[in-house]
Chains A and B, each alone.
Chain A
Amino acid sequence: MSRRLPVYLLIDTSGSMKGEPIESVKVGIEAMFSTLRSDPYALDTVSISIITFDREVKQVLPLTPIDKIQMPDITTPESGPTHTGAALEMLCERVDSEVRKSTPDQKGDWMPILFLMTDGKPSDLMVYKAAVEKVKQRHFSSIVALAAGPKAKTDELLLLTDMVYQIDTMDGTSLMKFFKWVSGIIEEGGKSIGATDDLELPPPPSEINVII
C-alpha cells in the first residue's frame, strides 16, 4: 500500500453555524475535493477525514483516499455548546489508529495535516487545553486554524497553532477562498518530500489576516 498524506478537517457544527454558514462550508469542502481530484499528486496520495463538533463529536468521514470520497452528510443542531476540546480528543484517537507509522515491515504515511474551523470558542476549555498538548505530540506537519465570523475567538486557537487566520464574514465567497487556499496547502504538503521542519505555506489570500 502506498504512502498517504492524511488530512484532518475539524468543522464546527454548533447551532450558530446553521443556515448559510454551514452550507457555505459544505460547498467549500466539495470545491476542495474537486480541486484535489484534478491534481495528479493529490489523487495518488491525499486521504481526508472530517470530524464535526457541536455538543456531539462525530467522525463523519473516516480517513478516505480522495478518489474514493463521497461527500458525507453534515448537519447542525438548533443550539448548544461547542465541544472543541472533545473534537481534539477524538482527533488524537483517530490519528493514532488511522495514520501508519514506519516499522521495518511498513512504510509510514506522510506527517498529517490538520485544519480546524470554528465560529466561536471552546465551551469545554479545560478539556480543550489538555487536548492541545496531546495534539502537539502527534507530529502534524501543519496545523491551520480558521476563526470565521464576528464571534470567533482567536486566543484559544493560538494555543494550538501560530497559524491562525480570521475571516470576518461567513459568506460563501470568503469560505471558498479559504478552502481554495487549504487545497493549495494540501497540494504543497505532499510535494515537500524530505521535510523535517514545518512545511512552507503558500502565501495566504489577502482577505485572511495572520495573527501573531
Chain B
Amino acid sequence: MDDQTTGMQNLDALPVRLPNATQGKPYSHASMRLPKTEGCEFTLSGHEDAGLSALLTECEDCYELTIEGTPAEPGDYAIVLQCKPAGWQEGDPLAEKRMLLMVNPNPRLLWRDIPTPENVPFYKPDRDNGAIAADGGKRVIAASQRGRSHAQEGKPRDDHFQLYHNPDSGWYVLAVADGAGSAIYSRRGSEIACHEAVAYCKSRLTDAAEFEGAIAAYQCTDDEQAARKAVGNHIYSIVGNAAYRAHRAITDEAQVVESSKPKDFATTLLLAICKKFEFGWFIASFWVGDGAMCIYDREAHSVSLLGIPDEGEFSGQTRFLTMPEIFADTASLYRRLRFGIRPDFTALMLMTDGVSDPMFGTEANLNNPDKWDQMWDRLQSGYPEDGIGGVDLDSPRAEEQLLDWLGFWRPGEHDDRTIAILY
C-alpha cells in the first residue's frame, strides 16, 4: 500500500465533526487538520450553500482547514472534502470525507406574535401602559407586556399593574402582580390582586390624619422604638390588610368561577404606598413572590430592596398571594412589610421576575448597586444593537417608550414583563 492510498483512507477515517452553526451568527471552525501528502490537492464543496468560505493554510506537517462566515439560512448542509492524489486523472477514485454542518435557526426570527383571542375568559390586552403626571412632585410610569413565550401561542398576559395618586392627599399607590404560568386563571388573579390592594389603600389613605401623625412623630421622636411600633401598626393595618383583602377577593372569585380553586388564580403581589412630607418621602410596602421592589438612589450609590424575593432551589419556584400560609400568622405577614423615610431618591421600582430575572439573575446582584446603575443606564439608552429604544424620562411619552423597552432580548428570558417606576 503506497503513501497516497494511506492518506486517502485516513481522510475518510478522520474523526472530524463540525460544530453546529447558527443562522446570522459569525461562525469559525479551524481545528480541522489534514494529513500532508505530497502532491495532494484538497477541494471543499457544499460550504458555499451554507454561505461560508473555506481556507486552507499550510503548516509544517499538515494542512489546516478553516471554515468561516455567517450562515444566512438554517438547515443541514453536506460538506464534502475531496483529495486528488498526485497524478490523478479523470476517472480515478477520489478520497472523500463527508461532513454534516447543522445550521440552527436564529431563535429571534422564529418568534411569532399571535394576538390573544378576545373571547377567552378574563381577557386583557396583550400590552398596557399607564402614568401619573408629575404634579410638582414625582412622576409614575408603568408598562406591562406579554412574554414572547405567550405571544408564540396566542396565550394571554398573566401580569398586571395598577397605579393610583390622590393630588389632594399626596399619596401614591403602586401595585404589580405576576400570575403564575401554571395556573389557568392567573391573569385574573393578578388583576384582582392589583385592583383590590390599590382600592383598599385608596380607601384608607383618603383621610389618614392619624397615620400621618404617627409618621411625623416617628420622624422627630426620641423614643424611636415606640414610634416605630406605632407606624408599624398602621402599616400592618393598611398595607397588610390590603394584601389580605386581595387574597380574600381571589378566594371569593374562586368560589364564583365554576370548578376553580384559589390556586388556579395564583399570583405574586408587590405593593407600595408613598408620600412626600416636608421631612422626606415616606414609603411602605408588602411583597410576596419573586420579582423585585426597591428604592434606588443613584447619587448615594445605594439600593434598598423592600423585602426578600421568595425563591426556591430551582427557577420558577416561588410563593403566591393565594397561599393560605402567607396570612397564617401575624408574624409571617409582618415579615413581608417594610417602611421607612428617605430625604429623596432616584426611583422607586416594582417589577415582575420577567424583568428582574434577565436584569439581575441572582439575589446577590439584586443587592448590588452597580447592577442597578447598569439597569438605570440601559433603561435610558435602550439596546440600540437590538433595535430597542431607550426611555426619555422627561418625555410625555415615557410610559409608551417604557412599554417598547420591555421588548429587550435575552436568551431564555421570555416571561411576561411588568414594571412600575416612581421618579
- Contact between A139 and B314, CB atoms less than 8 A apart: yes
9 extra interface residue pairs, beta carbon distance < 8 Å, beyond A191-B153, A193-B181:
A44-B412, A70-B20, A102-B312, A104-B362, A107-B357, A110-B314, A191-B149, A193-B147, A195-B316
* A residues near B415, Cβ cutoff 8 Å: 193
Interface: A61 (CB within 8 A): no
Which listed residue, A41, A105, A109, A199, touches B315 by the CB 8 Å rule? A109
Q: What is the CB-to-nearest-CB distance from A16 to chain B, in angstroms, rounded to a whole number? A: 30
A40–B111 CB distance below 8 A: yes
**Smallest CB separation, A168 vs chain B (Å):** 33
Which B residues are CB-close (under 8 A) to A193?
147, 149, 180-182, 316, 415
B411 within 8 A of A: yes
Task: Name 22 interchain pairs, CB-CB below 8 A, sorted by A.
Answer: A2-B410, A2-B411, A3-B315, A3-B412, A40-B152, A41-B148, A41-B414, A43-B104, A43-B107, A70-B17, A102-B313, A105-B364, A107-B315, A107-B362, A108-B313, A109-B315, A139-B313, A191-B149, A192-B316, A193-B180, A195-B180, A195-B182
Chain A hits for B111, CB < 8 A: 40
Give the Cβ gap from B289 to chain A, nearest Cβ, in Å.
9
| B313 and A192 contacting across the interface, CB-CB below 8 Å | no
- Do A68 and B181 touch across chains, with their CB atoms under 8 A apart? no
Contact flags A89-114 to B (C-beta < 8 A → 1, else 0): 00000000000011111111111000
CB of A203 within 8 A of chain B?
A: no
Contacts of B232-285 to chain A: CB distance below 8 A: 263, 266
A38 to B105, Cβ gap below 8 A?
Answer: yes
The chain A residue sitting closest to B110, CB to CB, is A40
- A110, B316: Cβ atoms closer than 8 Å: yes
Does A190 count as interface, using CB distance less than 8 angstroms? yes
CA distance A37 to B21 in the complex (A): 12
**Residues 55-111 of A contacting B (Cβ, < 8 Å):** 67-70, 101-111
- Tell me whether A196 and B317 are in contact in the complex, defined as CB-CB below 8 angstroms, given that A40-B110, A102-B311, A107-B357 are known contacts: yes
In the complex, residue of chain A having the shortest beta-carbon distance to the beta carbon of B354? A193
Query: Which residues of B line the A interface, CB within 8 A?
Result: 17, 19-20, 22, 102, 104-105, 107-108, 110-111, 147-150, 152-153, 178-183, 186, 263, 266, 311-318, 357, 361-364, 410-415
What residues of A have a CB within 8 angstroms of the CB of B317 in the complex? Answer: 111, 196
Pick from A40, A68, A109, A200: contact of B314, CB below 8 A: A109
Contacts of B150 in A (CB 8 A): 191
Answer whether A108 and B105 are a contact pair too, CB < 8 Å, given A190-B149, A191-B149.
Answer: no
Most-contacted residue by chain A among B147, B148, B316, B364 (CB, 10 A): B316
Count of residues in A whose CB is under 8 Å from the partner chain: 37
Give A179 to B239 CA distance when docked, in angstroms: 50
Q: Which residues of A contact B266 (CB under 8 A)?
A: 194
Q: Is A197 an interface residue (CB 8 A)?
A: yes
Q: Is the interface of A mostly helix, strand, loop or mixed?
A: loop
Residues of A within 8 A of B178 (CB): 194
Residues of chain B within 8 A of A70, CB atoms compared: 17, 20, 102
Closest 9 CB pairs of A and B: A195-B182, A40-B110, A2-B412, A193-B181, A194-B180, A40-B107, A44-B412, A43-B107, A67-B104
Q: Which residues does chain A contribute within 8 Å of B22, judged by CB atoms? A: 67
Closest-by-CB residue of A relative to B105 is A38
A191 to B410, CA, bound (A): 15
Whole-angstrom distance between the alpha carbons of A68 and B411 in the complex?
15
A4 cross-chain contacts in B, Cβ below 8 A: 412
Taking CB atoms, residues of chain B closer than 8 Å to A118 are none
Contact B315 A196 (CB under 8 A): no
**Which residues from chain B contact A195 at a C-beta distance below 8 Å?**
180-182, 316
A102 and B315 in contact, given A40-B111, A41-B149 (Cβ under 8 angstroms) = yes
